[in-house]
A = this chain, B = another copy of it.
Amino acid sequence: MPLHFTSEQRLDDGVLERAFTLGEIPGILWTPASAPAPLVLLGHPPLGLHKMYPRLVARARRAAADGFAAATIELPGSGDRPRWAAAEQARANLRQVMEAGEPVSDEIVDALILPLVDKAVPEWQAALDALLSLPEIGGPVGYSGGVISIGVRLAVVEPRIVAAGFFAGSFVPRAIFEEARQVTIPLHVLLQWDDEGNDRQAALALFDAFGSKEKSLHANMGGHTGVPQFAGDAAAQFFTRHLK
């Protein structure tokens, strides 16, 4: 799929931010002054790039300060991309059981996550094809954050990704636990210990399942969005160790 740049701006710290489309998928690429740079793919929850922009650009600036390019693409069914009836239905089902205080069944989790993973992963791989053909992007490639099930699948199927930083979240299908055993790249997993929206035992079990010989779990206090500054520093050091 061809990548077309649609706009560009130079941020105050010298980072070049360019919006692009990859076929019909919108995306953003941030590049530091030093080129060619290793690449960090910035995962994110399915809330739309526009809504996620402030957190994404902060992560991209940090990556650029460490000498990395960073890129992200819109997830299927999010942002300006066409809605998708099955995904909308799955989200509605989830809301319904959560509002009723009922347990979230495996069926609901599977319907919510697995089709998203199946659609998103080939798109991130297509983005990688296009991004790695740019002269300002070298290798190696890391994947960071976002829907952890997408990250797990990418870590299994995409050999160009050599290290991954995950944000432990709940709603991981059983099938993804099985895939986690096949992950062998170095992993850095953040867990917010008192994250109300997160099943801590499931997160610990997923960490345990990863097949990687080098895997680190960093648990911190502060709720879902309260990841402390020093935890971000540690994640950045992880990528510096593995992408440089």
Query: B-contacting residues of A (Cβ < 8 Å)?
Result: 193, 204, 207-208, 212-221, 228, 230-231, 233-234, 237-238, 241
Contact = CB atoms under 8 A, between A and B. Distances in A.
Contact of A219 (B217, B230, B233): B217
Name A's interface SS: mixed
Nearest to A204: B204
A234 B218 CA distance: 11
A216 B231 contact: yes
Identical copies of this chain, number? 2
Given A207-B219, A208-B193, A219-B207, A214 B228 contact: yes
Contacts of A215: 193, 220-221
Nearest to A233: B237
A236 to B, nearest CB: 12
Nearest to A230: B241
A216 B229 CA distance: 12
Contacts of A207: 193, 219
A228 B186 CA distance: 13
